[in-house]
Structure 1
Amino acid sequence: MNERRADMACSLVLPVDGMTCAACSTRLERVLNKQPGVSEARVSLAGNTASVDYEKGEITASDLARVIAKAGFSVRSEVIDLDINGMTCAACSTRLEKVLSKVSGVESVAVNLATERASITVPVGAVPTETLIDVVKKAGFEARPRVSAKAQREAQAREEQRRTQAELNKLRLAVVLTLPLALPMLFMPFGVDLMLPSLWQFLLATPVQFWIGWRFYDGAFKSLRGGAGNMDVLVVLGTTAAWALSSWVTFFGGAGEALYFEGSAMVITLVLFGKWMEGRAKRNAASAIHALMDLRSDTARVERDGIAMDIPAESVIQNEVVIIRPGERVPVDGRILEGESQLDESLITGEPIPVARGEGELVTGASVNGDGLLKVQATTVGAESTLSRIIRLVEDAQASKAPVQRLVDRISTIFVPVVVVISLVVFLGWWLGAGDPETAFVAAVSVLVIACPCALGLATPTAIMVGTGMAARYGVLIKDAEALEQAHRADTVVFDKTGTLTRGTPGVETCFAVDGDVENLLRIAASAQQGSEHPLAKAVVAESNEKGLALLPVSGFTNHPGRGFGATVDEMKLLIGSRRLMEERDVALTDWAEQAALLESTGHTLVWIADTTASSRLLGYILLSDGVRAGAAEAVADLHCKGLDTVMLTGDNRYGAASIASAIGIDRVIAEVLPGDKAAEVERLRNEGKHVIMVGDGINDAPALAAAGVGMAMGSGTDVAMHTAGITLMRGEPGLVVDAISISHATYHKIRQNLFWALIYNVIAIPLAVSGLLNPVIAGAAMAMSSVSVVSNSLLLKRWRGKGK
């Protein structure tokens, strides 16, 4: 018992953020030591670490991270990506997930069969990559760190090509050795016996079984050693039984007894052909991510010490000046210091029309420069560049598992042992019950060969790979498979107004001053709002700058979230904001309320300005408007055609919101909602039984995006919104919402078709195999075709076309 407890003892060092004093570290140490299964916890304030000794069976690294988060701190995590070789079916990926999950320090694991990739989330520095690679090797697979450097990618491509060629050569040899065994079967129905002597059959079938087919034995041994069964186990059991019985008859049996050399050889050849076809299709399915990687520029021309030189693009450092000549691909994200040009950003955003860029404007890496010479200061490089983040998003989405895939994984883990039991029961039933050992043997082998979970394991990930890749081409970045799967269920789309349905850049139309001094009203309003990032504030300041008004000093700024603010300008205590704020502070609007209501009803926004220095008195208002985005009405009409309800959720006044909604065709308006209440409104819709998609672009939309079934962030919006959302729309076009829902429908439809194809072979063929009516050769062909049909069906998603391109 003591030995067992020693085996379960683990130590883990977790990097902790958020500790500011000794009280923090003491409190966290006390909290950790109270957890069941924790032997001892030591928290270092200086090192910002928590060293925890715990028992593996009672608490996990993920549990410890959650405890630390609940205590008000956070554990920095990193994702280690490994390329995996040797997986053959869903049972392999499921088993490898279990093995890696047991490693001390591992928080979560996602192993994807289609991409042959494992993503392991661990606390920063807590688990060396070499440890994970050793664990993978002990489980019977090969692993290497997933890297992105161009030379290493090329080396991987060469290795992949070499491996593929070797597999093709073995397949060709298998066909050459199998044909003399298989062709005589075609003439048997005509009474022509061209079968080779049994010894010749043995000599042809044996190298196919044990040399060319060795990969199946190797995979089966590793799988069983890891405590689970997979496709290789079924293939090895069936073909070895056929070969062994035929060999016994050849050397020890009597003349005229049945031989199954052609069966064992053809099954292995057909399965190899199926795996080769499957590999081709999988590589094709992953072409989208390779295409994105190929967009990366290999070199960059930089200025160092006044000298222009070419260096590898990945060696550019932040703030370095990069020279981009006409026709070159932009190597980094940056800001233009000198020059102007037209840039083709279609490969990043999907927007086919080149856009003009000049001094001070931002450029995106992988876009193509037009006919101008640009000097660009690098702002984000390496892993933080826009293209790298897009690639990471697509990779993560392709590696993640949809909810339906988790069910498939659970099925595949019990599938193989159940099939082996069925095969044994069938064999005993025919032999002992019907006294027919030959039929018993044929039926048992056919059951083993046909019932392979390979197609089942490929059904979901291959569709997701192609779907997310196609979506990325049209400017729709899908963060995870769950968002892709859930989007098709939506029946309600909730839009934020400003920046989503409208351009988000309002302009001042007119100013009204109670005392008639419009310039002074604009000056003090702009002075109070200088430095603010709010779109309305920017519009007011821009209008005052355009009129050449000198701004006054501002102090005593007080924010009133969702309503406005207060500030002191030129010794006046100003109150600036919505009608609601004025009413709360008893500012009389009686004389102007009717006129204001009329303006608001036409979609305009009014910013009221009052002086509260002595008593609350109205100074005037500024009228602003924000135009509807091009394509918004068409997008809403398309959503209605698909049977979806549309809702506008905004903090603006109900009259302006209703006017915009009417122009666009929105069904329902929820207006005058404070930023903190948007998530509650989304929750209310979900409680009504609706499947909600929330579309937004601002920081204040982030809670609502998180609360929705699927959050969609406009790529023109804030990083916070894009981080929170499950789907990012790379262009500020509402039409991309339709595209995102469309690709979700198409992908989920393919998943259902794939699961049908994966299961229909077994549903039809297993009863035939049990009844003795299915030859092992036909079973092998059907099993191979099930995998090929599933992957090929996923590739049909490449015919999907969005409206965005």
Structure 2
Amino acid sequence: MTALQQVTFPVYGMNCASCASKLTTAFNEIDGIEANVNITLEKATLSIDEAALATPIATEVVSVLQKKGYQTDYQQISFEADWSCSSCVETTLNALKKHPLVLDVKANFATQMVYIETLESFINDQFIEQLIVLSPYKLTRKIAITSQQQLQKKQQQEQKKQQKEKLSLAFAVLLSLPFWLAMINMVFSDTPLLAPWLELALATPLQFIVGARFYKGAWSSIKNFSANMDVLVVLGTSAAYFFSLYMLLEGSTAHLYFETSALVIVLIRLGKYLEFRAKQASSKAVSALSQLQAIGALVKKGKEFKRVLIEHVQVNDLIQIAAGDKVPVDGVIVEGSSYLDEALLTGESRPILKNIGDEVFAGTLNGDGVLLMKSTAVNEQTKLHQIIQLVESAQMSKAPILQLVDKISSIFVPIVLGIAVITFGAWWFVGGDFEQALMHSVAVLVIACPCALGLATPTAMVVGTGLAAQKGILIKDINTLQLAHKLNHIAFDKTGTLTKGQVSLDNITSFHHDFFSLLLGLQQASKHPIAKAVIDHCQSLDVKAVEVSDIQSIHGEGIHGRFNDDDLIAGNSKLLARFNINLTEQLAIHAVNVDQEQNIIYVCYQQTLIGYFVIADQLRPESKEAIEDLHKLGLSTILLSGDKHSVVQAMSKQLGIKTFYAEQTPEQKLQQLSDLQQDSLVAMVGDGVNDAPALAKADVSIAMGGGSDVAKQTAAMTLMRDDPRLIAVAIKLSRATWSTIRQNLFWAFIFNTLAIPAAAFGYLNPTIAAIAMTISSLTVLSNSLLLKRTRLK
């Protein structure tokens, strides 16, 4: 940064010049900043001097804006990192957080990604370059996926990297073959197979060419006053190599350990390659979603349709989708109908019929019809891209267990170095044999490689969230995946969650031959949900409406009009009373009893009851099975609803839910959750704006895919299709993932607990230690990848 760098950013919410003046004053109170806020342009300009370099400017700016009630634009940028262990991640995070214009930094070792949040206006070439220079490890700016070409470029880069890894490994294995043969020969003969100078010639390129990456990693770590796994590798192999070189130059060839340093390098290099492959395998969910994006679109230009690249499609473009083509962007059908396959996007295997007015989404596959659609969201705004971002975000965030593992790894290396020093000193002091002391200390350094701790656990999380995405479950916060396996209760909202959220007619009772014609005539001009349900039902019966005049609606009561100069009304008991109709007498005339707790609409003509029907919300066909699945998993279910007691009670009985609370306000739902959370973990499932507070309060929050934006933004987990059975699937996946994590941690800890003392007491030589370390890492990695075989109904 220069001595006087200027940054300008928008400020929204100012109403007058006084607002700008007060905000200017508040900004100027930050040390090292001179501010000018322009009310006309709605922008603030900050001049920052060198004294502010140590000040978290972005954080203080945001704090001032929040206190004053103003807003600005934020943006997250991403980088690909080159790390070799989890402690490298912590070192990078700590370095990047020192930049004064950075708001927040997140990273994930498994995906090798860094995400930096700041104000949108702060991002420029200079800012990017400063971050790259500030990082102790190589960072490469990642461009957001907006086209198939960018995805292909990334895949090509991955293929080149994989090819380079293969060639490097092949070179290492080829050079090490004589050492393997020499070790086998030692079993059957006392005569060395390789000449000492040939061992040196083979070991040197393995140590300094194949092992160069370990030296680079160790140096970066030491420069930042930390010690990572590379430090262990470099110390162990260098000690064996240079000790052997010293002995060779002194003329002694009896005790050379070139093969030890060489084979340790090769084995760890093999482990790194397999780790690289594992990380590639764990990110296939994102790749599969990215490949759904179409390359181009057939857009109407004037009177003709022309094919344009996907990044050139604009909102409100008319786009033609041929049979068998992918939908290029999100939009609405304006002409035609067809079945669309949305399996990879929503998890629904059955093609869905789409007609005029229906929404279609980027990446879905058109069937045999030709569609004309109007685009409503393009590029980063599409549902497909948002899903990709959510999956990456879930894989990026850290659960408490991962934070614990990272903390252990950061102190693990110094402890091992201490044990190695003590081992060397003890063996040299007791036995007086420098060579023996060196070999035992080298064995300690090699066996203690923390790969299992640093990689296998986050890989399990990545595989778990990727598998969830394939099943139509989006997990925004990886902590949710960790908590879900410990849940005790699942609380449900009713409308739109366990029901379709659509009004339907139930228990229709008619006393008049023209009941439906009169009812349709009264309701057909109304936009009310009840009117829509009436119209849909009457159309299914092919009913013709009579002509009704003077139609008026009364909020909360119903609707009335005139037919043949007589009153025609449809509404509740309050509306009947308004027209002096005695409901009790009318029901008695027809000798019927009704449940007054139900939502009943009475229809009267000429002051006489001609029929009635109950307003019902249709139960989702999957709801009963979903509740049964949760009960089989040992979870209790609770229904929280704002609906009438009788309605909620009847639905609870139908679904098999024993505990329910009716006529609940959002505040009362919060209280119910708080009571449950006193001694247990609770999940909340909802879809509406009124469910948002309860979703925010719950330990695990789950939103229905068809719910409100507020609910989906609040929830940590979203079901991409409105199927509550996915909740049980998510819990099963959480349990499987957590089981894998516990297995991984057990094997990692038990291995180090047993192996390090064994090496320190002389039971393992460096070569055997290297083999054992590699097997340990491969074991937990393979166990993580076995999650993909989890059977989820």
Q: Give the TM-score normalised by the residue count of structure 1.
A: 0.87
C-alpha contact (below 8 Å) 1:96/1:136 kept by paired residues? no
The counterpart of 1:605, out of the listed 599, 603, 609, is 599
Matches within 5 A, 1:64-213: 64-84=61-81, 86-128=82-124, 131-147=127-143, 148=145, 149-213=147-211
Cα gap change, 1:434 to 1:334, in 2 (>3 Å): same
1:450 deviation in Å?
Answer: 1.9
Is 1:772 aligned to 2:767, yes or no? no
Determine the C-alpha separation between the residues in 2 that align with 1:786 and 1:597: 73
Determine the structure 2 residue equivalent to 1:3.
none
Is 1:783 aligned to 2:773, yes or no? yes
Deviations 1:396-419 (A, max 9, x none): 111221121112222222222222
1:521 deviation in Å?
Answer: 10
Q: Residue type of the partner of 2:617? A: D
C-alpha contact (below 8 Å) 1:106/1:127 kept by paired residues? no
User: What 5-or-longer segments of structure 1 have no aligned partner?
Assistant: 1-5, 558-563, 611-617
Is 1:393 aligned to 2:393, yes or no? no
C-alpha contact (below 8 Å) 1:12/1:105 kept by paired residues? no
Determine the structure 1 residue equivalent to 2:746.
756
Determine the C-alpha separation between the residues in 2 that align with 1:27 and 1:588: 65
Q: What secondary structure is seen at the aligned counterpart in 1 of 2:300?
A: strand
Matches within 5 A, 1:221-236: 221-236=219-234
Determine the structure 1 residue equivalent to 2:332.
335
Determine the C-alpha separation between the residues in 1 that align with 2:330 and 2:788: 29
Deviations 1:510-558 (A, max 9, x none): 789999998999699969x9556xx55754676799874768687997x
Q: Residue type of the partner of 1:25? A: A
Q: Residue type of the partner of 2:14? A: M
Determine the structure 2 residue equivalent to 1:615.
none
Cα gap change, 1:666 to 1:77, in 2 (>3 Å): same
C-alpha contact (below 8 Å) 1:402/1:485 kept by paired residues? yes
C-alpha contact (below 8 Å) 1:530/1:541 kept by paired residues? no
Is 1:444 aligned to 2:438, yes or no? no
Determine the C-alpha separation between the residues in 2 that align with 1:379 and 1:568: 39
The counterpart of 1:699, out of the listed 686, 689, 694, is 689
Q: Residue type of the partner of 1:678? A: K
Deviations 1:715-750 (A, max 9, x none): 122222111111110111110111111111111222
Determine the C-alpha separation between the residues in 2 that align with 1:566 and 1:225: 77
Determine the structure 1 residue equivalent to 2:12.
17
The counterpart of 2:290, out of the listed 276, 290, 293, is 293
1:166 deviation in Å?
Answer: 1.9
Deviations 1:14-65 (A, max 9, x none): 5433223334334444555567x67655443334344555856565633542
Q: What secondary structure is seen at the aligned counterpart in 1 of 2:726?
A: helix
C-alpha contact (below 8 Å) 1:693/1:711 kept by paired residues? yes
Determine the structure 2 residue equivalent to 1:46.
40
Q: Residue type of the partner of 2:233? A: V
Is 1:678 aligned to 2:678, yes or no? no
Determine the structure 1 residue equivalent to 2:729.
739
Determine the structure 2 residue equivalent to 1:248.
246
1:467 deviation in Å?
Answer: 0.9
Determine the C-alpha separation between the residues in 1 that align with 2:17 and 2:530: 44
C-alpha contact (below 8 Å) 2:203/2:261 kept by paired residues? yes
Determine the structure 2 residue equivalent to 1:492.
489
Deviations 1:159-179 (A, max 9, x none): 222222222112112112222
Cα gap change, 1:447 to 1:577, in 2 (>3 Å): farther
Cα gap change, 1:632 to 1:145, in 2 (>3 Å): same
Determine the structure 1 residue equivalent to 2:407.
410
Q: Residue type of the partner of 1:734? A: P
1:270 deviation in Å?
Answer: 0.3
1:194 deviation in Å?
Answer: 2.9
C-alpha contact (below 8 Å) 2:88/2:221 kept by paired residues? yes
Cα gap change, 1:568 to 1:437, in 2 (>3 Å): farther
Deviations 1:112-152 (A, max 9, x none): 11111111111112133653454334534322222213223
Determine the C-alpha separation between the residues in 1 that align with 2:596 and 2:246: 93
Q: Residue type of the partner of 1:718? A: S
Is 1:667 aligned to 2:662, yes or no? no
Q: Report which stretch shifted further, 291-300 or 646-655.
A: 291-300
Deviations 1:313-365 (A, max 9, x none): 23221111111111222222221122111111112111111111122222222
Determine the C-alpha separation between the residues in 1 that align with 2:299 and 2:766: 64
Determine the C-alpha separation between the residues in 1 that align with 2:513 and 2:504: 21
Q: Give the TM-score normalised by the residue count of structure 2.
A: 0.88
1:682 deviation in Å?
Answer: 2.3
Determine the C-alpha separation between the residues in 2 that align with 1:606 and 1:227: 74
C-alpha contact (below 8 Å) 1:13/1:50 kept by paired residues? yes
1:475 deviation in Å?
Answer: 0.8
Q: What secondary structure is seen at the aligned counterpart in 2 of 1:672?
A: coil
Deviations 1:264-310 (A, max 9, x none): 00000001100111111111111111111111111222221111222
Q: Residue type of the partner of 1:183? A: L
Determine the C-alpha separation between the residues in 2 that align with 1:229 and 1:568: 81
Q: What secondary structure is seen at the aligned counterpart in 1 of 2:723?
A: coil
Q: Matched residues, percent identical?
A: 39
C-alpha contact (below 8 Å) 1:511/1:518 kept by paired residues? no
Cα gap change, 1:324 to 1:590, in 2 (>3 Å): same
How many residue pairs get aligned? The number is 769
Q: What secondary structure is seen at the aligned counterpart in 1 of 2:615?
A: strand
Determine the structure 1 residue equivalent to 2:565.
none
Matches within 5 A, 1:420-431: 420-431=417-428
Matches within 5 A, 1:366-765: 366-509=363-506, 530=526, 538-539=532-533, 548=545, 599=595, 604-606=598-600, 623-686=614-677, 688-765=678-755
Determine the C-alpha separation between the residues in 2 that align with 1:7 and 1:772: 57
C-alpha contact (below 8 Å) 1:345/1:367 kept by paired residues? yes
C-alpha contact (below 8 Å) 2:603/2:610 kept by paired residues? yes
C-alpha contact (below 8 Å) 2:232/2:413 kept by paired residues? yes
Q: Residue type of the partner of 1:409? A: D
Determine the C-alpha separation between the residues in 2 that align with 1:569 and 1:193: 111
1:188 deviation in Å?
Answer: 2.3
C-alpha contact (below 8 Å) 2:217/2:230 kept by paired residues? yes
Determine the C-alpha separation between the residues in 2 that align with 1:682 and 1:569: 46
CA RMSD, Structure 1 to Structure 2 (Å): 3.7
Q: What secondary structure is seen at the aligned counterpart in 1 of 2:502?
A: coil
Q: Report which stretch shifted further, 203-212 or 431-440.
A: 431-440
Determine the C-alpha separation between the residues in 2 that align with 1:719 and 1:537: 26
Determine the structure 2 residue equivalent to 1:267.
264
Q: What secondary structure is seen at the aligned counterpart in 1 of 2:496?
A: helix
Determine the C-alpha separation between the residues in 2 that align with 1:554 and 1:681: 40
Q: Residue type of the partner of 1:45? A: I
User: What 5-or-longer segments of structure 2 have no aligned partner?
Assistant: 563-568
C-alpha contact (below 8 Å) 2:500/2:620 kept by paired residues? yes
Q: What secondary structure is seen at the aligned counterpart in 2 of 1:74?
A: coil
Determine the structure 2 residue equivalent to 1:238.
236
1:424 deviation in Å?
Answer: 1.6
C-alpha contact (below 8 Å) 1:470/1:800 kept by paired residues? no
Cα gap change, 1:633 to 1:419, in 2 (>3 Å): same
Q: What secondary structure is seen at the aligned counterpart in 1 of 2:756?
A: helix
Q: What secondary structure is seen at the aligned counterpart in 1 of 2:614?
A: strand
1:421 deviation in Å?
Answer: 2.3
Cα gap change, 1:40 to 1:303, in 2 (>3 Å): closer
C-alpha contact (below 8 Å) 1:298/1:313 kept by paired residues? yes
Determine the C-alpha separation between the residues in 2 that align with 1:522 and 1:38: 73
1:667 deviation in Å?
Answer: 2.2
